[in-house]
Amino acid sequence: MADDAVLLRLIAAVARGDESALKTLYEQTAPKLLGVILRIQRDRSAAEDVLQDAYLRVWQNAGSYSPEAGRPITWLCAIARNRAIDVVRRKAEVQGPVSEDGEDWVERLVDPHDSEGAILGRDALRACLGRLDAMQRDCIVLAYCEGHSREELAVRYDRPVNTIKTWLHRGLSALRGCLDAPA
């Protein structure tokens, strides 16, 4: 792999729109970045897609790289890592809220002694949760069913705490409106 000075020159050239510099940067750093991605995204085919997306981000953001912020390879690895995490998150969002042990959280609410009204209420909750934005729904489930703090959710979703609070507030309002609506 190239040293920092070479990587700095390549990133600067990419920032100026030099496609051959991007190709050289790719050749010099792709094995390292693919290794970073494979630690997060174990499916090699998906990891290679993430790698391509990471270099697209490098192409788009090379002008924002500042050597004072850290080594070039650290910046490149951070982009690759963040893209891999985003893909894993999106995949988890599509699957819906599942607890750490792999069980659907709504199923854990089932009690064999529940009345018909409780079962219908659970079905209504599931339907209303299904109408929410995936990240709002997951935040609500993690906060109110799993006990995660706003700070933990902020770290998990890489968002400010105030954004998490807004998601929770809006999500609960939407749930309340859905559950209160006549059937």
**Domain range holding 57?**
4-95
Q: Say whether both 123 and 174 belong to one domain.
A: yes
Instruction: Let me know if residue 38 belongs to a domain.
Output: yes
Distance CA 46, CA 154 (A): 26
Per-residue pLDDT of the chain (183 residues; tens, 9 = 90+): 678 999 999 999 999 999 999 999 999 999 999 998 888 888 888 899 999 999 999 999 999 999 888 899 999 998 998 888 888 777 655 444 454 555 554 444 444 444 444 444 566 777 788 888 888 888 888 887 777 888 888 998 888 989 888 888 888 888 888 877 765
Q: Say whether both 24 and 76 belong to one domain.
A: yes
Instruction: Let me know if residue 100 belongs to a domain.
Output: no
Distances (CA, A) of 46 to 8, 53, 134: 28, 11, 22
SS3 (DSSP) at 104: strand
Q: Say whether both 167 and 122 belong to one domain.
A: yes
Instruction: Let me know if residue 58 belongs to a domain.
Output: yes
Q: Which helix (H) or strand (E) holds 5?
A: helix 4-15
Q: Output the DSSP codes for 44-61.
A: HHHHHHHHHHHHHHHHHH
Q: Say whether both 84 and 115 belong to one domain.
A: no
Instruction: Let me know if residue 19 belongs to a domain.
Output: yes
pTM: 0.52
- CATH number for the domain including 53? 1.10.1740.10
Q: Say whether both 83 and 110 belong to one domain.
A: no
Please state the length of the chain. Answer: 183
Q: Say whether both 90 and 113 belong to one domain.
A: no
Distance CA 135, CA 159 (A): 11
Instruction: Let me know if residue 130 belongs to a domain.
Output: yes
Residue 103, phi then psi, degrees to nearest 5 = -95, 140
